[in-house]
Structure 1
Amino acid sequence: MASLHSPIPALYTVYVLRSTIRHASFYVGSTPNPPRRLSQHNGLVGGGAVRTSRGNLRPWEMITLVSGFPSSTAALKFEWALNNPHLSVHIPSALRSSVVTRTKRKRGKPRRPAKSMASVASCLHLLLRVPSFARWPLRVHFFNRDAFRAWEKWCSTTAVGEGLMAGLKVVTDFGGERRAGDGEEGEQSPSPPPWGIHALPLDYEPVKEYVAKGQEIFEFERQGRCLVCREEMKAGEGLHALCTHDGCDGVGHVSCWGRHFLKNDEAGSIVPVQGHCPKCKKAVDWGDMMKELTLRVRGHKEVKKLLKRKPKRVTKETNKA
């Protein structure tokens, strides 16, 4: 979860860079703002890492990233594990040893494995299926075809093709590719829409309607009875979560939602990933519910900013009228 005093962040990512000059050079980092961070790594603005400052490696491209971390601390743990799969305690020792290919000359300690497109894909796959990270509401984005091919190849091997959570979302956006029918020859094309990291939402705008629904229900104390246990829910007592879907006002105790989502879980998990709303019967992501809940409970400034009405633009036609 997020810290005790802040909501789940709008976006926090762990990313992988590859040098466009030397394809064997990679860098792993974390950030809430991928476009700005890439500009820093490429020296366009201040604040880049020393390891990416060499001119003979720039420009860098962001080939893949993982989003959906519940806090910056969670992202930093994943980043460290991705950089150090041979040492991370989040990886079971048997799997940890499988990524070690060399040892240091002194003392025989495991040496950090060299990064390659294949190793990045294999380590991502490994981390996304270990218990420490598998149940987080994560999403994998690929912005480079070579990186996605390496991921697909790794996932297709029988030795490692099992273990990923069924709800894991994998998104591809290779951008800049002209699609058939986008325009005839000689026709002036409109400005292309943003793609890749520039199309990622950096704020809470994607959940604005969901947050507004929650504000309307809870401010006017319309939560009613829990849709799971059927007990009356009193305002200000306990934590109440709301169905994510438009048109559904199903509300329940967080503990009841959790039990409902996990009732058919044979693994004995504590934290759910996904389930179905008892009222509208549609699939609901636990991470989305918790983002709205933490905004409502801890993010009063963020909610006020998100739902603030923008002033209407005054045009010449309006003045004439």
Structure 2
Amino acid sequence: MPGQLSTSSKHRFPNFYACYLLKSLQTPRSAKTYIGSTPNPVRRLRQHNGEITAGAWKTRNGRPWDMTMIVHGFPSKTAALQFEWAWQHPNLSRNLKDADGNGVVGRSRGLAGHIKAVRLMINSHPYSTWPLHVKLFTTEAVHAWNNAAKTYPSLPRGFKSSIELEGVDGKKESIHVGSGRTGPIDIHDTIFIKQHLETASKLRAIQSKVACTVCSSQIDFKAADPLTVALCPTSSCHAVSHISCLADDFLAHEHSKGLIPRGGYCSSCNEWTLWGDIIKGADRRKYGPSTGEDSDEMSEDDPESEAAAGLVDNIVSIS
């Protein structure tokens, strides 16, 4: 039921899950904003604007709404819900407090305030270990993002932000240059999945046993459980390693005391890669494209759901 945490032992890395920031266009001076999460931002925007059913009641009075930005790359729906709650309540999140337990950011208001808060969040643990990226869909969001960089200049290694002024659905007409996309954003992770599965197929066809790039012991690539074997996600590289070996190697080079690395260098191609992409690739080789978490959102206006998301924030911060 909505608000309950998953008890499934078979975790899936979703194809796509995003947290988004809406801004009301009801009047030229409207400052109303809304933060939510979804596996399908294009559909969700239509719901908020009343074009299709199931829009949140909190946004009915601010229509029409524009999606100004999204944060994507979450390793699970639960992670996205945790991030959503913290973005809505940055002054309350345990993950955004200093050593003395004081909040490092106040209650954010307006588009600029929310963007300033999210930039800090992306660089804070545990979010900094996730393979998160940002897409900016309006010039106002781009301006706020660049202004926030003056206060919070650093971002985690491997983080990417893109300016896509054609909008989340690709329908905006703008005098400014976008990404060149002519349709909606890709929520099926098409390029990554195709490339990763092709690399795995080539390895299975060419040879059965390969040497782990970290410990040098042999891996039977055809017989091994994909969840125990890591492939370099760089398209031109065919490096293979034990996932446990690679995790230890990445953590050692990061000089990290954590359990999960953000990323590291491939010892074969020397490209720096995100740990989240390594795990996502293993998931795709094991199960194929994800379908389990592509269902519709939990009720964002349900107090029980919000409480559950806040509980997740607390659980992750002390785990």
* Interval of TM-score (by shorter of Structure 1 and Structure 2): 0.7 to 0.9
Q: Which of residues 209, 212, 219 is equivalent to 2:195?
A: 209
Is contact 1:18-1:25 (8 Å) kept? yes
How far has the Cα of 1:204 moved from its partner?
3.3
Q: Which of residues 272, 277, 295 is equivalent to 2:266?
A: 277
Greater mean deviation of Cα atoms: 288-297 or 26-35: 288-297
Aligned counterparts of 2:56 and 2:266: Cα–Cα separation in 1: 45
One-letter amino acid of the counterpart of residue 68, structure 2: I
Closer/same/farther in 2, CA of residues 127 and 96 from structure 1, 3 Å limit: farther
The aligned runs of 1:3-22 (5 Å cut-off) are: 4-22=9-27
How far has the Cα of 1:285 moved from its partner?
2.4
Gaps in structure 2 of 5+ consecutive residues: 1-5, 167-172, 292-319
Q: Does residue 1:227 correspond to 2:213, yes or no?
A: yes
Q: Does residue 1:58 correspond to 2:63, yes or no?
A: yes
Question: What are the superposed Cα offsets for residues 6-44 of structure 1, whole Å, 9 maximum, x if unpaired?
Answer: 431111000000001243100000001000000000000
SS in 2 for 1:149: helix
The aligned runs of 1:191-210 (5 Å cut-off) are: 193-194=181-182, 198=184, 200-207=185-192, 208-210=194-196
Aligned counterparts of 1:45 and 1:80: Cα–Cα separation in 2: 25
Q: Does residue 1:129 correspond to 2:136, yes or no?
A: no
Q: How many residues align?
A: 270
Q: What residue number does 1:28 align with?
A: 35
Aligned counterparts of 1:66 and 1:242: Cα–Cα separation in 2: 25
Aligned counterparts of 1:95 and 1:37: Cα–Cα separation in 2: 36
Aligned counterparts of 2:69 and 2:247: Cα–Cα separation in 1: 31
- CA RMSD between the two structures: 2.6
Q: What residue number does 2:294 align with?
A: none
SS in 2 for 1:233: strand
Q: Does residue 1:236 correspond to 2:224, yes or no?
A: yes
How far has the Cα of 1:4 moved from its partner?
3.6
Q: Does residue 1:161 correspond to 2:183, yes or no?
A: no
Is contact 1:274-1:285 (8 Å) kept? yes
Aligned counterparts of 2:11 and 2:269: Cα–Cα separation in 1: 30
One-letter amino acid of the counterpart of residue 236, structure 1: A
Q: What residue number does 2:170 align with?
A: none
How far has the Cα of 1:179 moved from its partner?
6.6
Greater mean deviation of Cα atoms: 136-145 or 241-250: 241-250
Q: Which of residues 142, 156, 162 is equivalent to 2:136?
A: 142
**TM-score normalised by length of structure 1:** 0.76
Which protein has greater RCO, CA pairs closer than 8 Å, 6+ apart? Answer: 2
Is contact 1:88-1:96 (8 Å) kept? no
One-letter amino acid of the counterpart of residue 169, structure 1: K
Is contact 2:15-2:289 (8 Å) kept? no
Q: What residue number does 1:72 align with?
A: 77
One-letter amino acid of the counterpart of residue 186, structure 2: P
Q: Percent identity?
A: 31
Question: What are the superposed Cα offsets for residues 247-297 of structure 1, whole Å, 9 maximum, x if unpaired?
Answer: 322110001112222332134343222222212222322222211101222
One-letter amino acid of the counterpart of residue 89, structure 1: R
How far has the Cα of 1:173 moved from its partner?
1.1
Q: What residue number does 1:317 align with?
A: none
Q: What residue number does 2:312 align with?
A: none
Q: What residue number does 1:119 align with?
A: 113
Is contact 1:223-1:251 (8 Å) kept? no
Structure index of larger Rg: 1
How far has the Cα of 1:85 moved from its partner?
1.1
